[in-house]
Chains A and B, each alone.
Chain A
Amino acid sequence: MSKYKAVIGLEMHCELKSKSKVFSSARNSYNDIPNDNVRPLDMAFPGTLPTLNKESVREALMMAMVLNCEIPPYMYFDRKNYYYPDLPKGYQITQMHSPVGVNGKITIQIDDTYKDILIHDIHLEEDSASLDHYIDTSLIDYNRSGVPLLELVTEPCLNSAEEAVAFLEYMRLVYQYCGVSDADTKLGQIRCDVNVSIMDKDAKELGTKVEIKNVNSFSNVYDAINYEIKRQTELKDNGRYNEVEQETRRFDEETGTTIRMRGKVDAIDYKYFVEPNIPKYKLASSWLESIKKSIPELPYERKQKYINEYNLSEYDANIIIKNKEYADYFEECVNLGINPKTVANYLIVQIIAYLNKTNTELKDFYLKPIYLKQITEEVDNGHISSKQAKEVFNKSLEERREPKNYITKDNAQISDKDALISIVKNILDNNKSQIEEYKNGKSNLFDYFVGQVMKETRGKANPPMVKEILNELLNK
Chain B
Amino acid sequence: MNTEKTIEELHELLKSGQITSEELVKESLLKSHEVQEKCNAFVTILDDAKGREVTNDLLSGIPYGIKDNYSTKGILTTGSSNTLKDYVPFFDATAVSNLAKHGAIPVNKTALDEFGMGGTGTTCHTGVVRNPWDLQRMCAGSSSGSAAAVAFGVYPYALGSDTGDSIRKPAAFCGIVGYKPTYGMISRYGLFPFASSLDHCGVLTRSVKDAAIVVDAMKGKDKNDLTSWNSSNIHLYESINESLKGKKLFYIKEIANLDNYPDASSELKEHLENFQKTIELLKSNGAVVDEVSMDITLLNAISSVYVCISCAEATSNMSNLTGIIFGPRGNGSNVMDMIKDHRTKGFSPLIKRRFVIGSYILQRENQEKYFVNAQRVRRLIVDKINEFFKSYDALILPVSTGPAPYLDGSKDEMTNDNTTILEEHLQIGNFGGFPSITIPNGFISGLPVGVNITGKCYDDVNVLSIAYGLECLMPYKNQIAKLREVKDE
Residues of A participating in the B interface, judged by any CB pair closer than 8 Å: 40, 43-52, 79, 81, 83, 85, 88-91, 138, 140, 269, 271, 273, 276-279
Known A85-B335, A279-B226: A46·B192 in contact at CB below 8 Å: yes
Decide: A79 near B326, CB < 8 A? Known: A46-B71, A273-B371, A277-B226.
Answer: no
Shortest beta-carbon distance from B309 to chain A in Å: 9
C-beta contact mask, B184-198 vs A, less than 8 Å → 1, else 0? 000011111100110
Contact among A47, A81, A89, A271 for B190, CB-based, below 8 A: A47
Residue of B nearest to A140 (CB): B324
Among B87, B224, B339, B367, point to the contact of A49 (Cβ < 8 A): B224
A409 to B13, CA, bound (A): 94
Q: CB-defined interface of B84-109 with A at 8 Å, one 1/0 digit per residue? A: 10010111010000000000000000
Do residues B224 and A45 form an inter-chain contact, with CB atoms below 8 A? no
B79 touches A51 (CB 8 A): no
Which residues from chain B contact A91 at a C-beta distance below 8 Å? 316, 319
Residue of B nearest to A131 (CB): B335
Chain B, Cβ-Cβ closest to A87: B319
- Tell me how far the C-beta of B224 lies from the nearest C-beta in chain A, rounded to whole angstroms: 6
8 more A-B residue pairs beyond the given contacts A47-B190, A273-B313, with a C-beta to C-beta distance below 8 A: A46-B71, A46-B321, A46-B326, A47-B69, A79-B316, A83-B322, A89-B320, A279-B226
- Given contact pairs A46-B79, A46-B192, A90 touches B320 in the complex (Cβ within 8 A): yes
Identity of the chain B residue whose Cβ is nearest the Cβ of A81 in the assembled complex = B316
Contact A47 B226, beta carbon cutoff 8 Å: no
Let me know if B91 and A40 touch, CB within 8 A: yes
On whether the beta carbons of A85 and B324 are closer than 8 Å, the reply is yes
Q: How far is the CB of B9 from chain A (nearest CB, A)?
A: 33
Query: Are A46 and B320 touching (Cβ within 8 A)?
Result: yes
Majority secondary structure, A binding face: loop
Considering residues A40, A138, A273, which has the most beta carbons from chain B within 10 angstroms of its beta carbon?
Answer: A273
Interface residue B363 (Cβ < 8 Å from any Cβ of A): yes
Which of the residues A45, A273, A279 comes within 8 Å of B362, measured between beta carbons? A273
Would you give the shortest CB distance from B251 to chain A, in whole angstroms? 30
Judge if B380 is at the interface, Cβ distance under 8 Å.
Answer: no
Contact A45 B326 (CB under 8 A): yes
Which residues of B321-364 have CB atoms within 8 Å of chain A's CB atoms?
321-322, 324-326, 335-336, 339, 359, 362-364
Q: Are B193 and A44 in contact (CB under 8 A)?
A: no
Contacts of B236 in A (CB 8 A): none
CB <8 Å contact, B196 and A44: no
**Complex interface: chain A residues within 8 A of B71 (CB):** 45-47
Chain B residues with Cβ under 8 A from A273's Cβ? 312-313, 316, 362, 367, 371
Q: Is the pair A276, B364 in contact by a Cβ cutoff of 8 Å? A: no
Within 8 Å CB of A269, what residues of B?
Answer: 363-364
Provide the bound-state CA to CA distance between A192 and B172, in Å. Answer: 57
Q: CB-nearest residue of chain B relative to A41?
A: B224
A-B CB proximity, top 8 nearest: A90-B319, A271-B362, A44-B320, A276-B197, A276-B196, A47-B190, A46-B192, A47-B71
B227 CB contacts on chain A under 8 angstroms = 277, 279
Could you say which interface size class chain B belongs to?
35 or more
The residue from A49, A138, A140 contacting B188, defined by CB atoms under 8 A apart: A49
Whether A45 contacts B226 by the Cβ 8 Å rule is no
Task: Tell me how far the C-beta of B418 lies from the nearest C-beta in chain A, rounded to whole angstroms.
Answer: 31
Question: Within 8 Å CB of B191, what residues of A?
Answer: 47
Q: Does B263 touch A at the CB level, under 8 Å?
A: no
B196 touches A46 (CB 8 A): no
Measured between alpha carbons, how far is A273 from B236 in the docked complex, in Å? 36
- From 295 to 333 in chain B, residues with beta carbon under 8 angstroms from any chain A beta carbon are 312-313, 315-316, 318-322, 324-326
Q: State whether the Cβ of B238 lies closer than 8 Å to any Cβ in chain A.
A: no
Most buried by A among B79, B93, B224, B318: B224
Whether B336 and A83, one on each chain, are in contact in the complex, defined by CB atoms closer than 8 angstroms, is: yes
Given A47-B89, A51-B224, is A89 in contact with B364 using a C-beta cutoff of 8 Å? no
B225 touches A271 (CB 8 A): no
Chain A residues with CB below 8 A from B321, complex form: 46
Q: Which residues on the B side are within 8 Å of A278 (C-beta)?
A: 226
The answer to whether A44 and B325 have CB atoms under 8 Å apart is yes
**Are A81 and B362 touching (Cβ within 8 A)?**
yes
Cβ of A265 to closest chain B Cβ, rounded Å: 14
Interface of B is mostly: loop
Asked whether B223 is an interface residue with its Cβ less than 8 Å from the other chain, the reply is: yes
Tell me the complex Cα distance, A81–B363, Å.
Answer: 11
Is the Cβ of B189 less than 8 Å from the Cβ of A48? yes
Task: State the Cβ distance, B95 to closest chain A Cβ, in Å.
Answer: 11
CA distance A46 to B359 in the complex (A): 20
- Whole-angstrom distance from the CB of B331 to the nearest CB of chain A? 16
Query: For the complex, what is the distance from the CA of A88 to the CA of B321, rounded to whole Å?
Result: 9
Q: How far is the CB of B188 from chain A (nearest CB, A)?
A: 7
In the assembled complex, which residues on chain A have CB atoms less than 8 Å from the CB atom of B362? 81, 271, 273
| Residue numbers in B under 8 Å from A40 (CB-CB) | 90-91
Nearest Cβ on chain A to B472's Cβ, whole angstroms: 37
Q: How far is the CA of A48 from the CA of B188 in the complex (A)?
A: 9
Cβ of A88 and Cβ of B89 under 8 Å apart?
no
Residues of A within 8 A of B190 (CB): 47-48
Q: Contact between A271 and B363 (Cβ–Cβ < 8 Å)?
A: yes
Give A40 to B316 CA distance when docked, in angstroms.
18
Q: Once the chains bind, are A138 and B364 in contact (CB under 8 Å)? A: no
**Chain B residues within an 8 Å CB radius of A81:** 315-316, 319, 362
27 A–B pairs (Cβ distance < 8 Å), ordered by A: A43-B325, A45-B91, A46-B77, A46-B87, A46-B192, A46-B326, A47-B70, A47-B188, A47-B193, A49-B188, A49-B189, A50-B226, A51-B226, A52-B226, A81-B316, A85-B322, A90-B316, A90-B318, A91-B316, A91-B319, A140-B324, A271-B359, A271-B362, A273-B371, A276-B313, A277-B227, A279-B226
Tell me, in angstroms, the Cα distance from A85 to B364 when the chains sit together. Answer: 23
* Contact assessment for A47 and B225 in the assembled complex, using a CB-CB cutoff below 8 Å: no
Please give the distance in Å from B306's CB to the nearest CB on chain A.
Answer: 15
Q: Which residues of B contact A48 (CB under 8 A)?
A: 189-190, 224
Per-position 1/0 for B20-38, Cβ under 8 A of A? 0000000000000000000
Residues of A within 8 A of B316 (CB): 79, 81, 90-91, 271, 273
Partner of B226, one of A49, A79, A85, A140: A49
Compute how far the CA of A91 lies from the CA of B313 in the bound complex, rounded to whole angstroms: 12
B225 touches A49 (CB 8 A): yes
| Cβ-closest chain A residue relative to B198 | A276
Known contacts A46-B192, A271-B364: does B336 contact A88 (CB below 8 Å)? no
Closest CB-CB distance, A168 to chain B, in whole Å? 30
- What B residues does A90 contact at CB under 8 A? 316, 318-320, 322
Query: Measured between alpha carbons, how far is A140 from B325 in the docked complex, in Å?
Result: 10
Bound CA–CA A276/B90 (angstroms) = 25
B319–A47 CB distance below 8 A? no
> Which single member of A44, A47, A85 contacts B189 (CB below 8 Å)?
A47
Q: For residues 162 through 188 of chain B, which have their beta carbon under 8 Å from a beta carbon of chain A?
A: 188
Q: Which residue of A lies closest to B189 (CB)?
A: A49
A89 and B319 contacting across the interface, CB-CB below 8 Å: yes
Q: How far is the CA of A426 from the CA of B381 in the complex (A)?
A: 107
How far is A279 from B225 in the complex, measured between Cα atoms in Å? Answer: 10
Contacts of A43 in B (CB 8 A): 325
Collect the chain A residues with CB atoms within 8 Å of residue B312's CB.
273
Q: Which of B84, B189, B191, B318 has the largest number of chain A CB atoms within 10 A?
A: B189
Contact partners of A46 in chain B: CB under 8 A: 71, 77, 79, 84, 87, 89, 192-193, 320-321, 326
Question: Which partner residue on chain A sits nearest B372 by CB separation?
Answer: A273
Q: How far is the CA of A50 from the CA of B227 in the complex (A)?
A: 10
With a cutoff of 8 Å between Cβ atoms, the chain A residues found around residue B225 in the complex are 49, 277
> Which A residues touch B315, using CB under 8 A?
81
> Inside 8 A of B335's CB, which chain A residues have their CB?
85, 138
Nearest CB of B to A276, in Å: 4
For the complex, give the distance between the alpha carbons of A276 and B363 in Å: 18
Distance between B437 CB and nearest chain A CB, rounded to angstroms: 24
Bound-state CA distance A277–B197 (Å) is 7
**Distance (whole angstroms) from the CB of A316 to the closest CB of chain B:** 50
B61-95 interface (Cβ within 8 A of A) = 69-71, 77, 79, 84, 87, 89-91, 93
How far apart sit A45 and B87, CA to CA, in the bound complex (Å)? Answer: 10
